[in-house]
Structure 1
Amino acid sequence: MGDRWHVEVDRGLCIGSGMCVGTAPEDFRLDSARQSCPVTPDRDPSETVLEAAEGCPVEAITITLADSGEAVFPPEDD
């Protein structure tokens, strides 16, 4: 896990459930509109960030490799 990640939240999909904040409180916060925001969009890989993305009920969180843009989550279909 040496590649850096870029974490984004699609504000059009985010419903503000707070699941990501509950799973990874150091990595996500809810803004004044109750929408999720990554605390550090470009970051080292983290199991808790991946768990938060996997647990998002509307799949609003995407993780890509910062250098190549290759999908980490959700994985691209082959």
Structure 2
Amino acid sequence: MNHTTEATSWSVAVDRAACIGTGVCVSTSPEHLEIRDGKAAARATETGPAQYLLDAADMCPMAAITVTETATGRVLAPEE
């Protein structure tokens, strides 16, 4: 599902306890995610919409990345 035009601000959270550090998220969305101490981390907790950030959250094998609309709190990714 493409949400890139539905919100002006998204929040990004990484559950570092769940992350296993595969790096697939970073290779998909390096502008938003990075590896710190062997695990994924958000470069910023708030960002503008970007489809590749949703893709990165959906690709995470541990579902450790959550993207939400900042204004509403609606979860955009990962998709259930």
TM-score (norm. length: structure 2)? 0.84
Q: How much has 1:46 moved relative to structure 2?
A: 0.3
2:72 aligned residue: 68
- Checking the alignment, whether the CA contact within 8 Å between 2:58 and 2:79 is kept in structure 1 is no
In the TM superposition, structure 1's runs of 4+ consecutive aligned residues that sit over 4 Å from their partners are none
In 2, Cα distance between equivalents of 1:73 and 1:65: 10
Would the aligned equivalents of 2:10 and 2:49 in 1 still touch at CA under 8 Å?
yes
Give 2:57's aligned residue. Answer: 53
- Unaligned 5+ segments in structure 1 are none
Q: Give the drift of 1:38.
A: 1.2
**Percent of pairs identical after alignment?**
36
Structure 1 distance, partners of 2:33, 2:26, is 5
C-alpha RMSD of the superposition: 1.4
Q: Which letter maps to 1:6?
A: S
TM-score scaled by length of structure 1: 0.86
Aligned residues of 2:35 and 2:41 also touching (Cα < 8 A):
yes
